[in-house]
């Protein structure tokens, strides 16, 4: 589609450029005063090329329209094949419109072919006319040359004759005057001159015969021109007749091909009807929900409008092509005939007629230029309309394709669902299992009684599945609520523990203050109260302390009372601290009770969560069992998806099989293999072991390299000189200690 649009844009640009060139050439031809056939020939060829280009672009547009129409027809066939039973009357009307448009397109193709043949014949005739014109011009030039040479020769002969007459008179006068002097010599001279005069007279007669020859040549030229005109007319008539005959033959061939194609269409239509009748029973229920009757009627109406618009456009183009064909026929007839009243092309009036004909041709060219501009405007409008219609057809084609893809996807999904449906044996097995479930009180709500066992198994399973899904969602909701409550309790426990820790810290700080106070107060000043305070502090943390009242009969100078009869400041501080300790102990005991109750609730919540999880697993197992006969009805439930993931992780057969195989292989290993496996797992199982192993291997290789190098290049290695002095300068091992042997030693050894 994009390539065709680019081609149309390029054709527009080429047409605009050629239009400018034709306008320029026409303007130059009008401004030229001289009659030049070559310029007219160039202008005519330019117009012929432009007409050929227009016809080619028209053919390309027709081909583009036909391709687009075939694509639409294929899309419509696919849509009708998928849609099932359509409206047969609308289909027949649409087919008739399509056939009519196709016939008109074939007619246009035939007319364009005839137009091309007529153009070729016109070019051939114009070439023959141009060759004849050149021959006539050459004959005219030869005739004028012969006439000019004849005139010059006649004038020369006339001058020679006059000179001879004058010489003869002079000779006669001289003869009469000097008869005696001249004598015999003069007589000879006179005879010679008479012979020359006779020769000149014979030559003059020959010139007269040459004039007659020129007249005969003119007659022959005239006859030849007449023969040429007759031959041109005959050839033009034969060309027109042959073109019409060939056009009729091609039209007959096209009609035969069209009839054959119609027969093929009828056979294909019968096959399509048979296939549709075979598939109608299975696809009727599936296709009814895809597209309503109103949408199909609207689509048919839109296609009908588009086809009618294209038909009008093709009729206009047919009218324009017919008019151009008639104009070309008229021009061909005018080119093949001589002007009226002119039988001799050499006649001077022929030039005047040719000038008149040239003026008429110029007027026709101007009219053709105006018509060409109008045709270009109309063609531009048609191209715009074609582009708009192409865009609309493209959009409709995309819509049809999208619908077709949607229908195909729906059909595939329906086919997949049909494949997922159980067979008759599986249905019987499911019925038996359903009866078993009913017997074990699985269907305790009475949803599927004996009446629905044969035909309502699917409904019973769907009801059971909905019930299981409802129970599952309720259990999930309860689990979420329990989780929220558990989280709330955990937060409360955490806050209580924090408060308890703060209170414990406060108690410890207060006890420290009491101990410091106890150490700071002297025992002697406190008296009996010191003993009491010490006993109180040594009691258990859970004991209660009552405030101690001092008898009013205590003397003022006693150890525990002041001058006013009240307790001493140390005793008052002790009493306050004891009371505060009692309050803190009560609060701690209440917090411990709250903590114990929260722990009990947490334990019960965890137990309930475990029980809910077990119930969810059982429900998922039931749901999975019930979903085997319904297909993929539970795919859109997120809770079921989570349950499925947890169930698969917990009951993964592949993981269990891998662990079982691992244990079996480890049990088959021997002691040494077990030790090697354990050591390798310990060493290679962590990053530190791997790094240590690499460092150990590198150091070991480095040590081996240093040792071998030392042994190979040191003479005193291992005390070899002391143990074996005879090997110190031995010729065999000299090169092993101290490097490469010297050249002198080598020569000595060789000698």
Highest mean pLDDT among 121-130, 574-583, 718-727: 574-583
- Does the pLDDT at position 663 exceed 80? yes
The residue-averaged pLDDT of 263-288 equals 62
Identify the pLDDT of residue 128: 64
Q: Do 631 and 736 have their domain in common? A: no
**Least-confidence region, from 189-203, 328-342, 488-502, 662-676:** 328-342
- Does the pLDDT at position 627 exceed 90? no
Q: Do 503 and 624 have their domain in common? A: yes
Residue 132 belongs to a domain: no
Identify the pLDDT of residue 39: 66
Q: Do 614 and 504 have their domain in common? A: yes
Count of other CB atoms within 10 angstroms of residue 360: 11
**Least-confidence region, from 227-236, 341-350, 703-712:** 341-350
Residue 573 belongs to a domain: yes
Classify 567 as helix, strand or coil: strand
Identify the pLDDT of residue 515: 72
Q: Do 525 and 612 have their domain in common? A: yes
- Over pLDDT 70: what percentage of the chain? 44
Residue scoring higher pLDDT (550 or 116): 116
**Least-confidence region, from 23-27, 157-161, 408-412:** 157-161
Question: Could you report the per-residue pLDDT of 63-109, keeping only the tens digit for each?
Answer: 776 776 676 666 655 555 555 544 455 556 666 766 766 676 676 66
**Least-confidence region, from 144-148, 282-286, 514-518:** 282-286
Question: Could you report the per-residue pLDDT of 545-570, keeping only the tens digit for each?
Answer: 444 343 333 333 334 444 444 555 66
CA distance 472 to 620: 8
How far, in Å, are 41, 258, 406 from residue 93 at the CA level? 52, 18, 27
For residue 655, what pLDDT band results from cuts at 50, 70 and 90?
Answer: confident
Residue 329 belongs to a domain: no
Identify the pLDDT of residue 540: 43
CATH number for position 494: 1.10.287
Identify the pLDDT of residue 453: 44
**By 3-state DSSP, what share of the chain in percent is helix, strand and coil, each rounded to 5?**
85, 0, 15
Identify the pLDDT of residue 673: 92
Dihedral sign for Cα atoms in the order 139, 140, 141, 142: positive
- Give 255: exposed, middle or buried? Use CB within 10 Å, 0-12, 13-18, 19+: middle
Identify the pLDDT of residue 450: 42
Residue 627 belongs to a domain: yes
Identify the pLDDT of residue 695: 95
Count Cα neighbours of 655 within 13 Å in the Cβ-side half-sphere: 6
Which helix or strand (DSSP H or E) is residue 65 part of?
helix 37-83
* Token reading at 532: 């009491």
The residue-averaged pLDDT of 501-521 equals 74
Q: Do 597 and 493 have their domain in common? A: yes
**Least-confidence region, from 289-298, 605-614, 655-664:** 289-298
For residue 736, what pLDDT band results from cuts at 50, 70 and 90?
Answer: low
Count Cα neighbours of 698 within 13 Å in the Cβ-side half-sphere: 6
Identify the pLDDT of residue 403: 79
Q: Do 539 and 482 have their domain in common? A: yes
Classify 561 as helix, strand or coil: strand
Highest mean pLDDT among 101-115, 399-413, 461-475, 694-708: 694-708
The residue-averaged pLDDT of 132-153 equals 65
User: DSSP code of 741?
Assistant: P
Question: Could you report the per-residue pLDDT of 678-707, keeping only the tens digit for each?
Answer: 998 888 888 898 999 999 999 999 999 999
Identify the pLDDT of residue 560: 41
Identify the pLDDT of residue 443: 44
Identify the pLDDT of residue 523: 45
Residue 191 belongs to a domain: no
Q: Do 633 and 712 have their domain in common? A: no
CA distance 56 to 52: 6
Identify the pLDDT of residue 654: 79
| Burial readout 305-321 (b: 16 or more C-beta within 10 A, e: otherwise) | ebbeebeebbeebeebb
* Token reading at 502: 């703060």
Q: Taking a C-beta distance cutoff of 8 angstroms, is the pair 260, 61 a contact?
A: no
| Burial readout 467-477 (b: 16 or more C-beta within 10 A, e: otherwise) | ebbeebeebbe
Q: Do 640 and 692 have their domain in common? A: no
Question: Could you report the per-residue pLDDT of 335-360, keeping only the tens digit for each?
Answer: 555 444 544 545 555 455 556 666 77
The residue-averaged pLDDT of 367-383 equals 75
Q: Do 468 and 578 have their domain in common? A: yes
Dihedral sign for Cα atoms in the order 164, 168, 174, 178: positive
| Burial readout 594-614 (b: 16 or more C-beta within 10 A, e: otherwise) | eeeebeeeeeebeeeeeebee
Identify the pLDDT of residue 703: 95
Q: Do 573 and 719 have their domain in common? A: no
Question: Could you report the per-residue pLDDT of 532-544, keeping only the tens digit for each?
Answer: 445 545 544 444 4
Classify 692 as helix, strand or coil: helix
Query: Which one of 589, 622, 646 terminates a domain?
Result: 646
Contacts (Cβ under 8 Å, ≥6 apart) of 358: 35, 40
Identify the pLDDT of residue 74: 67
Q: Do 619 and 690 have their domain in common? A: no
Identify the pLDDT of residue 92: 65
Identify the pLDDT of residue 72: 66
Q: How many domains does the chain have?
A: 2
Residue 514 belongs to a domain: yes
Q: Residue 719 belongs to what domain range? A: 686-750
Residue 727 belongs to a domain: yes
- Does the pLDDT at position 255 exceed 70? no
Q: Do 607 and 693 have their domain in common? A: no
Identify the pLDDT of residue 675: 92
Residue 574 belongs to a domain: yes
């Amino acid at each position: 589609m994009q390539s065709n649009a680019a081609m149309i844009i390029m054709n527009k640009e080429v047409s605009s450029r050629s239009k400018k060139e034709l306008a320029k050439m026409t303007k130059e031809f009008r401004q030229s005063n001289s009659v030049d056939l070559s310029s007219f020939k160039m202008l005519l060829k330019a117009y012929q090329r432009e007409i050929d280009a227009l016809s080619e672009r028209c053919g390309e547009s027709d081909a583009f329209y036909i391709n687009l129409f075939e694509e639409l027809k294929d899309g419509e066939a696919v849509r009708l094949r998928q849609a099932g039973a359509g409206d047969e009357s609308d289909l027949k009307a649409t087919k008739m419109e399509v056939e009519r448009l196709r016939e008109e397109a074939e007619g246009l193709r035939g007319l364009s072919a005839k137009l091309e043949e007529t153009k070729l014949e016109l070019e051939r005739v114009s070439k023959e006319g141009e060759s004849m014109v050149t021959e006539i011009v050459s004959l005219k030039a030869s005739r004028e040359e012969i006439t000019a040479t004849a005139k010059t020769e006649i004038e020369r002969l006339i001058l020679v004759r006059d000179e001879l007459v004058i010489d003869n008179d002079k000779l006669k006068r001289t003869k009469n005057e000097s008869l005696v002097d001249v004598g015999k010599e003069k007589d000879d001279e006179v005879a010679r001159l008479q012979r020359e005069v006779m020769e000149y007279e014979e030559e003059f007669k020959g010139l007269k015969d040459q004039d007659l020859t020129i007249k005969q040549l003119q007659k022959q030229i005239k006859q030849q021109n007449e023969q040429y005109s007759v031959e041109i007319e005959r050839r033009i008539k034969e060309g027109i007749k042959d073109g019409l005959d060939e056009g009729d033959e091609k039209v007959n061939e096209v009609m035969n091909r069209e009839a054959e194609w119609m027969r093929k269409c009828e056979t294909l239509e019968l096959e399509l009807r048979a296939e549709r009748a075979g598939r109608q029973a299975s696809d009727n229920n599936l296709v009814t929900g895809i597209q309503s009757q109103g949408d199909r009627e609207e689509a048919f109406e839109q296609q009908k409008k588009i086809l009618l618009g294209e038909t009008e456009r093709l009729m206009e183009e047919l009218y324009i092509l017919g008019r151009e064909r008639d104009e070309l026929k008229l021009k061909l007839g005018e080119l093949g005939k001589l002007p009226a009243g002119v039988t001799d092309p050499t006649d001077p009036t022929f030039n005047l007629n040719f000038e008149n004909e040239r003026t008429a041709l110029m007027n026709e060219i101007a009219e053709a230029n105006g018509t060409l501009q109008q045709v270009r405007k109309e063609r531009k409008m048609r191209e715009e309309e074609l582009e708009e219609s192409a865009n609309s057809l493209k959009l409709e084609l995309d819509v049809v394709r999208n619908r077709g893809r949607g229908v195909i996807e729906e059909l595939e999904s329906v086919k997949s669902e049909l494949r997922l449906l159980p067979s008759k044996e599986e249905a019987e097995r499911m019925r038996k299992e359903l009866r078993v479930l009913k017997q074990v009180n699985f269907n305790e709500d009475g949803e599927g009684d004996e009446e629905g066992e044969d035909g309502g198994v699917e409904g019973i399973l769907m009801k059971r599945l909905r019930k299981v899904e409802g129970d599952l969602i309720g259990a999930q909701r309860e689990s979420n609520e329990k989780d929220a409550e558990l989280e709330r309790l955990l937060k409360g426990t955490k806050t209580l523990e924090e408060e308890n820790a703060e209170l414990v810290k406060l108690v410890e700080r207060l006890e420290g203050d009491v101990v410091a106070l106890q150490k700071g107060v002297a025992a002697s000043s406190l008296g009996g109260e010191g003993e009491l305070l010490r006993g109180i502090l040594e009691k258990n943390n859970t004991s209660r302390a009552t405030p101690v009242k001092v008898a009013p009969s205590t003397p003022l100078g006693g150890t525990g009372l002041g001058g006013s009869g009240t307790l001493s400041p140390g005793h008052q501080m002790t009493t306050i601290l004891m009371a505060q300790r009692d309050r803190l102990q009560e609060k701690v005991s209440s917090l411990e009770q709250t903590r114990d109750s929260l722990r009990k609730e947490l334990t019960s919540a965890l137990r309930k969560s475990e029980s809910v999880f077990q119930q969810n697993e059982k429900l998922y197992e039931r749901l999975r069992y019930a979903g085997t006969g319904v297909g993929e009805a539970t795919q859109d439930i997120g809770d079921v998806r989570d349950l499925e993931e947890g169930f698969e992780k917990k009951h993964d057969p592949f993981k269990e099989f891998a662990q079982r195989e691992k244990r079996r292989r480890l049990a088959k290993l021997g002691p040494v293999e077990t030790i090697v496996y354990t050591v390798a797992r310990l060493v290679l199982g962590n990053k530190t072991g791997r790094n240590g192993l690499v460092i150990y291997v590198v150091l070991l290789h480095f040590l081996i390299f240093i040792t071998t190098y030392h042994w190979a290049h040191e003479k005193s290695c291992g005390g070899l000189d002391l143990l074996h002095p005879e090997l110190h300068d031995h010729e065999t091992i000299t090169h092993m200690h101290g490097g490469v042997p010297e050249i002198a030693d080598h020569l000595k050894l060789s000698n």
